[in-house]
Structure 1
């Protein structure tokens, strides 16, 4: 069963393959040149998509074409090469060039998910009877495209994670002169306002004690993006223990969300060979 439709997998793989170094089928230093062939990168890439989408274990997704050890080793190799992070950067650059990122309106919010395996980015969850949980402080543009995140234990408050989340703006290149950051009532404090002023940002922060519909703003975009990310079960219930691996899966999920949004927006204005027959 494919993890994603073909009109989404193929452009992802084409760009992903372009970032991988060229390797021979056999190791050049082998004295006989007849040892087992290297598993195709495309097979492992498809397994990574299945892991992300379905949330199953490496052993459950492994089969005769690829072992669980090969998936882990190739995953670690790609993380060392920075392929996942670079893939996300290219997706954002493409979206900005074709559609345009709405960078004058930024939304930031936190989301707590389960982390049964614990690990570097896990902590006691205040909403899950003290079980291990993961908090991500996510940032999106004005239309909900994910721009970056900061990971922490579920016991961390949203407000201290605002600064490392906003640091992700430095990776986006030139920014508008006036940027408004939309935040919920959890950020309603003098510390948050001072932080925004020091960075030259305008804050639209919900007031504590007031009904949400009265002060609704663009922060619902980041809440919708959290829901999109939670559709990837590897993120919703995270068993990974290393923060670098978690970030890699998040980068892959954010890339899928960005490319899917790009195809949807470009479907009515552009034509290409692999264009879906129906608007996604």
Structure 2
């Protein structure tokens, strides 16, 4: 049973496979000139998708044709190559070309999830009795498409993550428009956040501390919805990865799937193509 519908899995794999370096069927540097056949990248990729969607350990999703050690080695290799970030950038490019990104309104917010295994991106969570947690800071466009992602410990405040999140957004989508409004909640109500926005040449809509949130929700609710979509993936709700690069790999894979899902949903009302999904729910 595939973890994702084919309308999401196949386009993701096509772009992912195109970025993988060419590898032979056998290890070229083996001293005897032969070795066990290398597990196919597609097989490992499907196991990685299972881990992302269900959040299961590699031992639980391993099969006789793909061991947990193979999954760990390949995930580490892909994370060091930065393939997930490049695939996400390609998905954003396709979305911008077919639908159009709303870059004039950007919303940024953080989300805290569990990280019981610790690691490079784990910290004491202030909302979970000091247990280890992970914070991700996400920037989204006017419709909630995830643009840039930064991960850090759960004990890190949102405000210092604003600048690296905007920088990650520029790396993923390129140059931003001259007039950009950044929508933020009251956690960014500080002189440092306003200085970062001013140095970037943007304008800011920041909620004031002490006022009820529903009254001043504004346009930043879309990034909270994006966090909800990303929390549908078990690997993000409960991260067990200790390597910071592997954590970012799964974050950007989830962001790519969110982008592809939004692209398909909005394209079905504008375009026709063979194999167009008929269901309105793409899980």
* Secondary structure in structure 1 of the residue aligned to 2:204: strand
Aligned equivalents of 2:86 and 2:157: distance in 1? 29
Q: Find the counterpart in structure 2 of residue 57 from structure 1.
A: 57
Q: Find the counterpart in structure 1 of residue 212 from structure 2.
A: 211
CA contact (8 A) 1:99 1:262 kept: yes
Alignment of 1:113 with 2:105, yes or no, is no
Aligned equivalents of 2:206 and 2:165: distance in 1? 16
1:189 CA drift (Å): 1.8
- Cα RMSD for the two superposed structures: 1.5
Instruction: String of CA shifts for 1:58-110, please: whole Å, max 9, x gaps.
Output: 11110111000111111122223222111111111111111111000000111
Alignment of 1:227 with 2:225, yes or no, is no
CA contact (8 A) 1:267 1:279 kept: no
Q: Find the counterpart in structure 2 of residue 154 from structure 1.
A: 154
Higher mean C-alpha deviation, range 83-92 or range 265-274 = 265-274
How many residue pairs align between the two structures? 280
Aligned equivalents of 1:21 and 1:152: distance in 2? 29
Q: Find the counterpart in structure 2 of residue 177 from structure 1.
A: 178
Aligned equivalents of 1:22 and 1:191: distance in 2? 46
- Alpha-carbon distance change, 130 to 213 in structure 1, aligned in 2, over 3 angstroms: same
Q: Find the counterpart in structure 1 of residue 7 from structure 2.
A: 7
CA contact (8 A) 2:149 2:169 kept: no
1:34 CA drift (Å): 5.3
Aligned equivalents of 2:90 and 2:221: distance in 1? 26
Regions of 4+ moved over 4 Å: 29-34
1:267 CA drift (Å): 1.0
Pairs within 5 Å for 1:52-91: 52-91=52-91
* Secondary structure in structure 1 of the residue aligned to 2:176: coil
CA contact (8 A) 2:27 2:34 kept: no
Aligned equivalents of 1:225 and 1:62: distance in 2? 30
1:32 CA drift (Å): 6.3
CA contact (8 A) 2:163 2:196 kept: yes
1:166 CA drift (Å): 1.3
Q: Find the counterpart in structure 1 of residue 137 from structure 2.
A: 137
Q: Find the counterpart in structure 1 of residue 256 from structure 2.
A: 255
Length-normalised TM-score, structure 2: 0.94
Aligned equivalents of 1:246 and 1:27: distance in 2? 28
- Alpha-carbon distance change, 36 to 104 in structure 1, aligned in 2, over 3 angstroms: same
Aligned equivalents of 1:83 and 1:192: distance in 2? 31
Length-normalised TM-score, structure 1: 0.95
1:30 CA drift (Å): 4.8
- Alpha-carbon distance change, 28 to 194 in structure 1, aligned in 2, over 3 angstroms: closer
Aligned equivalents of 2:79 and 2:10: distance in 1? 21
Aligned equivalents of 1:34 and 1:126: distance in 2? 53
CA contact (8 A) 1:106 1:142 kept: yes
CA contact (8 A) 2:149 2:252 kept: no
Aligned equivalents of 1:167 and 1:38: distance in 2? 38
